Amino acid sequence: MKILVTGGAGFIGSNVVDAFIEKGHDVVIIDNMITGQEENINPKATFYKMDIRDEKVFDVFAKEKIDVVDHHAAQMDVRKSVDDPIYDAQNNILGSINLMQAAAKHDVKKFIFISTGGAVYGEQDYFPADEEHPTRPLSPYGITKLTGEKYIYFYSQTFGLNYVILRYANIYGPRQSPHGEAGVVAIFTTRLLAGEQPVINGDGKQTRDYVFVGDVVDANLRALTYEKNDYFNIGTGIETDVNEIFRHLNEFTGNNAEEKHGPAKPGEQLRSVLNNEKAKQLLGWQPQVSLKDGLKKTVEFFKRKK
Q: Is 180 exposed, middle or buried, given 0-12, 13-18 or 19+ CB atoms closer than 10 A? A: exposed
Residue of 219, 238, 214, 239 lying closest to 230 (CA atoms): 219
Give the integer Cα–Cα distance in Å for 135 and 123. Answer: 9
**Contact (CB, 8 A) for 211 and 244:** no
Cβ neighbours of residue 263 under 8 Å, at least 6 residues apart? 201, 202
Any bridge partners for residue 46, and if so which?
A: 28
**Contact (CB, 8 A) for 171 and 200:** no
The set of catalytic residues is 141
